Amino acid sequence: MDAENSQIELAFPEIRVIDWPRAVRWYVEVMGLRLVLEDVAHQFALLGAGGSRLALKAGERRGGETPTVRLVFRVNDVEAERERLIARGVEVGPAMENRAEAYRSVTLVDSDGTPITLFSWQDSLDPNSPQA
C-alpha cells in the first residue's frame, strides 16, 4: 500500500499528564487552544489548535520518566507569541533563527514538563506563502 492510498490518518496525539485539571487550564488559558471536548469523569480533554487536535489524559509517568514527546506548534509570529506567553508568566527561551532551514523558534515547557517548540517559517519556506 503506498502512502497516497493509505487508510491511516493521524487523528490526534494524546499526552499523559500528572495534574489533568491544571494541564487543561494551561493549554486553554495560556496557550490559547480551544476546548473541543471535556470528559471530567475519565479525565480526558480534546483540544483544538487550528485544524489539529491534541488530547490530554490523566496518567502517571513511571518513576522518574521524562516526557518522550515534544509538541511543535506553528505560529504566525514567534516574537509576538513569546511576549504573550512571558506576560502570562511562562518561562520561554530566547528566539532562535535557523537560517539553513529558514525558520524562527522558541522553546518552553507545559505545566507538566512536556517540551514545546513554537516556530514560524520565513516567507521563503512557508508552504502557504505565494512565493513557496
- Tens-digit pLDDT profile for the chain (132 aa)? 455 666 778 889 999 999 999 999 999 999 999 999 999 999 999 999 999 999 999 987 666 666 678 999 999 999 999 999 999 999 999 999 988 889 999 999 999 999 999 999 986 555 555 544
Phi then psi dihedrals of residue 8, to 5 deg = -95, 130
How many helices (H) and strands (E) the chain has is answered by: 2, 8
| 86: amino acid identity, one letter | I
The string over 14-26, giving b where at least 16 C-beta atoms fall within 10 Å of a residue's C-beta and e elsewhere, is ebbbeebeebbeb
Whole-structure pTM value: 0.79
**C-beta atoms surrounding 79 within 10 Å:** 12
Which fold does the domain 1-61 belong to in CATH? 2,3-Dihydroxybiphenyl 1,2-Dioxygenase; domain 1 (3.10.180)
- Would the CATH topology of 1-61 be identical to that of 70-132? yes
Judge whether 102 and 78 are in contact, CB under 8 Å: no
Phi then psi dihedrals of residue 123, to 5 deg = -50, -35
Domain 70-132 has CATH 3.10.180.10: yes
Phi then psi dihedrals of residue 49, to 5 deg = -135, 95
Going from N- to C-terminal start, the domains of the chain cover 1-61, 70-132
45's grid cell: 480533554
